[in-house]
Structure 1
């Protein structure tokens, strides 16, 4: 177990890495032991295959070769008289002999069979010499039949028996070796199995020890953390906790312990804050109740003021409406006076134009009178000239007389027109004077009406301003009344909110009372509360 002030830090990661490393090494060692067993078993198997099994196979091949030699030998003797067959079997015997020599070469690699191989080679050479000698005699037609050949070949039977005995002895030796292969392989396999099992068991035991140690090292702080969390969830704060070690779990326990202490401080501060908040909520509730009562009284007073201002507003609006009506009447009179003045000015202007036209008419009439006078003189001269003409100028005299008569009528009419125009001009002059006097009177009336209109305008404007001011006062009173009503509602809401806050504060106090705090010091104040022993529950075993 490491003390909390250990200068060396074995972290959980390092422990797990070491554990996994050891397990990896154990796995590799177990695999190496298994591989060693397999390699050993393979080596024993290969040694057996290349030794005893190969020896047995070579011996069996040698036996088969020897049998082929004897068979081809017999076939050679049987076919005496058929040179082709004899030559064929001689050739086959030669191949079997070469094969037997090859098998002997293969058996020489086995040290235990070197003596038998040497003896076998010597007897085989004697047998081969006897066969070649007999074959030469057969090709020389020395023998009539196989019986004579066999009788001649009897002298070589001793090497043949020696060869048979040697093959039997070597076969027995190979059988003996083959019989020992299975026990040897079984022993090797059992040894490999035992060693591998022991290695695996050792690795398992070491792995179980590592797992137990690692699990214990992990579960002890986790159990302490679980107990601390359960204590906190049960409302017990400021718990005593002994932290052992210097790894991540120890850091976690330190952090949980700091969190527990900090929670105890926070809960203590919240408890004191709830007490202060409850007292403040009660004061606010009382103040809002008193403010609500005064606001209601102010609202009643404002309602009465608003009613009085409404009556005053109605009277002022009535005066303003009368002033507006008078203003409208005066404006109408002023408008009519202006129109009369304008008409009088237009009439005077028209009179002046008529008088000017009368003067022009007089001038025109004078011109007509002058024309009539000249026409009369011309008509007279024409009559005189017509009388001088005699009978030929009579018609012209009649025309001249008629023209003279028309000229006289024109002169008479022009005189009457001059007289009428003169009378009209005099009357126009009198009417013009009357129109001018009327215009002056209308101008004076218009000036008076304008003065009256200005006064009425000022009265109407003053009435409008007074009505507007009273409206503004009414609006202000109404706004004040609305604000007062809103303030009353807000005060009522604030009162209700303060009561709710008081209830919530009391509820929060009841909830905070769930936490039991041991003797801790708070930045706000020093508190002494019920101490609770949790050392037994939280200290790791």
Structure 2
């Protein structure tokens, strides 16, 4: 009965029970007043109120122990729970009244607080582990793993974090390898660009010299073509003059032939004069003979005949001398005609040779003109190549600057990636430092395989160019 009242009866039933008990005790105390006074009745009448008072005190004491004390204890425990005392147990959780309900609720609060404290402790451990891992990650150590298991569902967080670090370490390892490859490749590109820039500058200088030389050659060939044209014109004029000379020689031959014919006619005339002189001499001789026969009368005639005879003799002598001169002149004229004929023949050969030379010179002139035109085109092509080579040299300079920038950025990137430790790359990081700028490769006459941009080129190749 008391256990039910204390542990199971609701507060209202407890109050109703107290009210009934109080009413009963009041009735009990009033019962004594209803009894008649005197004797035993008076004693009994006094006993009932006293008994009622005692019972009331006992009931109040029991009510205090069974009703007030649990509430006070529950309030004190609740205050302790609110103050943070979650280690002390919550009593009276087996009660079915309001105290039991409050105790069970407080116990739930305590259990939740204990769970929260345990969860906070576990969370602090997790935060400490994650903080350590994040610190290692901030320092670049990607090989760090959280070894301590996390409670409950947080274990998935640890597993995912370790898996993410593993994937990040793998990716960073590939990035480090790629960075090393990029660094090496950019260094080779930079060296190749430097070599290409030097060779392009040399090629540009050689092409500029070749262009200048080609322009000089073109100018000289142009002058030679002009000179050959002048020679062709001179040969043509010489051919015309030689042809005119042949005509003049032919006329001279004809004139010498006419002179020879005239000399022959003069010789005939001289022969006639010589005959006339001979006849005159005979006539003078006959006249002298006749004058001698005539005596004194023919003396004067004899003198005349003598003079005529002397004149005839002188005429004959002069005609003979003239004949000899004409004969000599005829011989000279015949020799001159022969020489002039030979000269005409030689001039005809010369005219033929000059015609052949003129034909050859015309061919040479055409060839020289074509060569001059072709050399002009070649000179223009070389000038265009020179311009393009200058542009290529400028582009190579830009490419070289870009390659140097790329190499610098690659070195900086590699220096940044060396901060990360992926476990597999620790030895590589310790072994490989950031490479310094590679010196330019010396061009030596050695066979080169791989990057042909680094193939050495001797000066003889450019000399041939």
Give TM-score, length-normalised by structure 2. 0.39
Q: TM-score, normalised by structure 1?
A: 0.34
